[in-house]
Amino acid sequence: MARLGAAVTIVTTGSLDEPTGFTASAVCSVTDTPPTILVCLNRSARVRPAFTENAALCVNVLSGAQRALSDRFAGAFDMSERFDVGHWTTLETGAPVLEEAIVALDCRISKIVEVGTHSVIFGTVEALRLGGTVGGLVYFNRAYHHLPHVEAK
């Protein structure tokens, strides 16, 4: 799976008062009608209970300049330390939204399916916030890679 590159995201749940979040690259679009995404989360992750207890999540897609933020949310920091960096707001669901994200997909959790070692969380997009037009951050072959910004034609 290391050779399957993916966008780097921070997935959040809870509220601004009690936020929970982790770094994820196992995130993808499922369908556009209704707009639905999926997020894979290891069943043994310490954040898992928050995602099974809350009805919402937000996928915050990171830019190439946000590697340190990705590392913070992937590391041993407690939740208050993770959310000390960046500017956090909310949209429709109340899940924390990173203002500096390239795009934030605010979702209601519609289903959780257990597959092997992971929970596959399906979210229906309720709102989105488009950020700046900058290059993205991907994880491929166990390393971060910065994608350049390319103007849409």
Q: What pLDDT shows up at residue 7?
A: 87
- Residue 109, both tokens: 């959790």
Which structural domain range is residue 125 located in? 23-133
* 58 found inside a domain: yes
Q: Is residue 43 part of a domain?
A: yes
Residue 31 has a pLDDT of 96
Looking at residue 147, its pLDDT comes to: 82
Report the DSSP pairing between strands 9-14 and 143-146: unpaired
pLDDT of the residue at 146: 81
Q: Which two tokens stand for residue 58?
A: 């937000």
Residue 150 belongs to some domain of the structure: no
User: What's the confidence (pLDDT) of residue 4?
Assistant: 67
Give the pLDDT confidence score for residue 2 in this predicted structure. Answer: 65
Q: Is the pLDDT of residue 149 over 80?
A: no
Predicted confidence at residue 153, as pLDDT, reads 64
Integer Rg of the chain from CA: 14
pLDDT in tens, 82-105: 999 999 999 999 999 999 999 999
Is residue 43 predicted with pLDDT exceeding 80?
Answer: yes
Do 91 and 104 meet the contact criterion of CB atoms below 8 Å apart?
yes
Residues linked to residue 153 through DSSP beta bridges, in sequence order: none
Does 117 map to a domain? yes
Cα 133 to Cα 62, 88, 92, 94: the distances in Å are 11, 19, 23, 25
